[in-house]
Structure 1
Amino acid sequence: MTIKTCIFDAYGTLFDVNGAARIAAEEPGNQALAASWPELAEAWRRKQLEYSWIRAVRDLHCDFWQVTEDGLDWALESTGLDKGPDAPAQRRRLLDLYRDLPAYPEVPALLETLKARGIGTAILSNGSPEMLVAAAGSAGIADLLDDLLSVESVGIFKPARPVYDLVCQRFGGTPDSVLFVSSNGWDVTAASSYGFHAAWVNRAGLPPDRLPGDPDVVLSTLAPIAGLEIF
């Protein structure tokens, strides 16, 4: 089956989730954050994901922005960055930066190539519609995507099956005409088990998750996607 649609996870795949903490740490007056921003970024992302999974299992869905705020608050407390007179302003700054995360450098060129070939492209994300519009706009890639698909339309976070249903509902065809791309191993295994072709962008060189569903290909960046033989 020829690939007709290429679907991307957003956070960690197209957008650098470490960008908010890294950029804030480089700003004047943030010495404490400069010394611990990698730890903060890792804890923030980990709790953001954990809270989304737990809410899905417990049927306690909420906007992903709430999960993002809750994850940040936990991370700030765990790193001791929740104290001091500047802590509230720093928290606001980190959240503002998260709305406008930078895209990875190879993203625009890849999307332009896929668009030129007539491949449908979209984001499929836990992010709320407002978050995705803001991120795609600030990264300058909104015009290169055919749609921004959010879990808010089904009211449950990934990796619930109804989330992946959104792709063929929007673009038609069958799952085997879709390439799903994510930096999250758990997301890739779920998409593969669903029936999508799956590419794992393993930027950190992590071992594979011990879950059903294997990626078709493992990459270190998004750049080689357009050259894959499955297109």
Structure 2
Amino acid sequence: MTASVKAFVFDVYGTLFDVYSVKEKADELYNGKGYEISMLWRQKQLEYSFLRQLMGKYDTFSNITRDSLRYTLYYLNIQSDSEKEQLLIDAYKHLSLFPEVKDVLTQLKHKKLAVFSNGSRDMLDPLIEYSSLRQLFDKIISVDDIKQYKPTPASYGHALHTLGLEREEILFMSSNGWDISGARNFGFKTAWINRKKLPLEELDVNPHHIYSDLSHILEWVN
């Protein structure tokens, strides 16, 4: 099954990096409210990207991340200021890697590797540089280059064009069920990294493979 795969393409947020690791900084800044903040912040971050796509009002993921944080703080009735908000935004550039990530990527380094993210480059590039993963990837692909968020077909088309391959030659991995549905619908081979043991999305497009973490991807190595 590995022969036809010419590129291993990874989503970033939730797949390589734990988005909820901002909880620690949020706890520090907002008196133990880190769990509530991190959960709602992520929910609104995704919701705003989807809504802006549907409304035809694209904005960068960094701006969406700031807007969704502000909504979260208002919703939770938490008093804040611009300095605290900036510290928490900066924490998004220092998210924790999931434990298996570096080892898996190192074992795949002889393959063509890429990341494909909704993150804008002002968030994505510092995050990957800080984690010392940059040298392992052949391509860093951001939807910001074409201003089309995943899961639109145009966003996956941008990744395909950037990689210069056929759809079936790409194995796309994400922890986000909606992202996997979009990629499978577009024609990529897909592996859902179902870290939270969630049910399948009811979208009539199921992943080719389901794994509990990225270590199982190594079965694709010849």
TM-score (ref. length: structure 2): 0.93
Task: Give the structure 2 partner of residue 41 of structure 1.
Answer: 38
In structure 2, what residue type is equivalent to 1:76? L
| 3-state SS, counterpart of residue 115 of structure 1 | coil
Q: Give 1:227's aligned residue.
A: 219
Q: Deviations over 1:48-68 (max 9, x none)?
A: 001001111111001110100
What's the Cα RMSD here? 1.6
Letter in 2 for 1:100: H
2:24 and 2:145 map into 1 onto residues whose CA distance is 32
User: Quick one: which amino acid aligns to residue 122 of structure 1?
Assistant: A
Once the two structures are superposed, what CA deviation does each residue of 1:160-189 show, in whole Å capped at 9, x if it has no partner? Answer: 111101222122221111110001100001
In the TM superposition, residue 203 of structure 1 has moved relative to its aligned partner by: 1.2
210, 213, 218: which one aligns with 2:205 = 213
Distance (Å, rounded) in 2 between the aligned partners of 1:109 and 1:163: 28
CA contact (8 A) 2:118 2:150 kept: yes
Q: Assess if the C-alpha contact under 8 Å between 1:16 and 1:103 holds in 2.
A: yes
Q: Partner of 2:97: helix, strand, or coil?
A: coil
Would you say the 8 A contact 2:26–2:37 is kept in 1? no
Does 2:152 match 1:160? Answer: yes
Deviations 1:19-56 (A, max 9, x none): 1222442x4xx462x2x322211100110001001111
Secondary structure at 1:181 match in 2? strand
Aligned counterparts of 1:143 and 1:111: Cα–Cα separation in 2: 10
Verify: 1:18 aligned to 2:29, yes or no: no
| Correspondence 1:83-162 to 2 at 5 A | 83=79, 87-116=81-110, 119-162=111-154
Determine helix, strand or coil for the equivalent of 1:99.
coil
Asked if the contact 2:62–2:122 (Cα under 8 Å) also holds between the matched residues in 1, the reply is no
- Does 2:178 match 1:176? no
Gaps of 5+ in 2: none
Runs of 5+ consecutive residues of structure 1 not aligned to the other structure: none
Q: Distance in 2 between matches of 1:174 and 1:212?
A: 23
- Partners of 1:15 and 1:103 in 2: how far apart? 4
Q: Percent identity?
A: 34
| Cα distance in 1 for residues equivalent to 2:181 and 2:158 | 17
Q: Quick one: distance in 2 between partners of 1:112 and 1:208?
A: 30
Equivalent AA in structure 2 for residue 54 of structure 1: L
Residues 7 and 113, structure 2, Cα contact 8 Å, conserved in 1: yes
Is residue 129–residue 148 contact of structure 1 (8 Å, CA) maintained in 2?
A: no
